[in-house]
Amino acid sequence: MALFDPPGQSETGPDQEVGPALRDRFGRRFSYLRLSLTERCNFRCTYCLPNGFIAQKGLPPELTRDEIGRAVGAFSKLGLWKVRLTGGEPTVRSDFTDIARDIAGQPDIRRVAMTTNGYRLAREAESWRAAGIDAVNVSIDTLDRARFAQVTGRDMLDQVIAGVDNALDAGFSAVKINSVLLPEIGAPDWDAILGFVAERNVTWRFIELMRTNGNSAEFRSQVHASQAIREKLEGSGWTQRDRGEGAGPATEYVHPDFRGRIGLITPYGEGFCDSCNRLRLSSRGRLHLCLFGEQGYDLRRLLERDDQQEELIETIARALPDKTQGHRLHEGDSGATPHLASIGG
Ligand code: SAM
Ligand code: SF4
């Protein structure tokens, strides 16, 4: 059964004691909402949307700015204080900055983060920071321009790197790079990545490719490279940083000669789901308890009016007992997830 803890008793530290904490039957507490603003994307990453975004007929439209505001309000009343804007590519929405500003202005929201492919970041970093976004994750799978174009379908590496540099100048509290380990790239371009991390205060996070229903053929040829990276780091003076309470899923390494850090996200690793602290809302208003779970719970009918908030809160809390202990990726089961763009990676 889902339980509420009173304020001030969250395991995740005093910074986060903003309200009752929603808890599942495995004792995990939920502080973090991943909000997908759209399934649309202007890139065609080979492992995510290899044919680009193709609109499906008959689906409900994306949540409006007002519906998003109501949803965030309800989740924040349940103790979720951090929101990440994701997608699809969230910044293809013309009202992206307004949505971010609305959410950052909600009384119980402490942190707004975003995940982007970076195509608008060089131009918009300052205005997004001014709108109240605190932290930004940018996806860069390789620093080789030709391979970047091959993987994403867009020859935009230089613009994306300029975006990272502008984000660092704009004063975000954290700038992280998401870098999926891919067979077509082979071993990471190690020297280029080390040079990038030496000069910049970023965390470069290698992510094991996760199997989805859309990339299972490609996935079969995948060899997990994270263990090799771990050995490389540990053999060359990098040390593992202590994981603070409420830390994200990455194991992080630091080195005295580098301004930045290197992280590893290993969803196939043991205990990966034990510290799960997040819930997801799709761009069409479905609550997802796991990235690789069920079809989702439709919340949309409860987002129409402000006076539905109580029922909305009860509906979210009632869904929580269905959250499973972990994903079943090891068994080749990706749940109902066609690709990560569909519910927000
Ligand atoms: N479009 C934005 C972007 O690419 O950053 C946000 C959405 S994207 C789905 C979020 C993150 O999920 C990206 O860093 C992407 O590389 C990662 N991702 C997508 N599919 C993945 C998969 N099958 N396995 C691991 N990571 C994946
Ligand atoms: Fe688009 Fe992000 Fe998926 Fe790449 S990973 S296709 S940028 S949603």
Count of Cβ atoms closer than 10 Å to residue 286 Cβ: 18
89 in contact with ligand 1, CB cutoff 6 A: yes
Tokens describing residue 247: 């830390």
- Give the nearest ligand 1 atom to 211 CA: 23
Q: Ligand 1: does its nearest atom lie under 6 Å from the Cβ of 215? A: yes
- Tell whether pTM > 0.85: yes
Whether pLDDT at 2 is above 60: no
Interstrand relation of 261-265 and 251-254 (parallel, antiparallel or unpaired): antiparallel
Nearest residue to 205 via CA among 196, 216, 214: 196
pLDDT tier, 18 (very low <50, low <70, confident <90, very high otherwise): very low
Q: For the residues of 45-89, what is the DSSP string, one character each?
A: -TTT-TT---PPTTPPPPPPHHHHHHHHHHHHHTT--EEEEESS-
Percent of the chain past pLDDT 70, that is, above it, reads: 82
One-letter amino acid identity for 337? Answer: T
- In whole angstroms, give the CA distance from residue 168 to residue 20: 34
Task: Look at ligand 2, atom 3, and give the residue with the nearest C-alpha.
Answer: 48
Q: Which ligand is nearest to the CA of 214?
A: 1
Which carries the bigger pLDDT value, residue 157 or residue 317?
157
Beta carbon of 340 within 6 Å of any ligand 1 atom: yes
Q: Is the CB of 139 under 6 A from ligand 1?
A: yes
> H or E segment at 126?
helix 121-130
| Integer Cα distance of 5 and 21 in angstroms | 5
| Cα(91) to centroid(ligand 1), Å | 14
All domains of the chain in start order, with CATH = 25-331 (3.20.20.70)
Three-class SS state of 138: strand
What 8-state DSSP symbol labels residue 108?
Answer: T
In the structure, what pLDDT confidence band is assigned to residue 42 with cuts at 50, 70 and 90? very high
Question: Is pLDDT larger for residue 23 or for residue 200?
Answer: 200
Q: Quickly count: other Cβ atoms within 10 Å of residue 331's Cβ.
A: 7
Query: Which tops the pLDDT comparison, 165 or 53?
Result: 165
Instruction: Name the token pair of 282.
Output: 């799709």
Greater confidence, 321 or 71?
71
Provide the residue type at 50 as one letter: P
Mean per-residue pLDDT of the chain: 86
pLDDT (tens digit per residue) in 301-339: 999 999 999 999 999 998 887 666 666 556 566 565 667
241 CA distance to ligand 2 middle (Å): 29
Range in 175-184, 211-220, 286-295 the model is least confident about = 211-220
Q: What is the mean pLDDT of residues 134-154?
A: 97
Instruction: Please state the rounded mean pLDDT for residues 4-8.
Output: 39
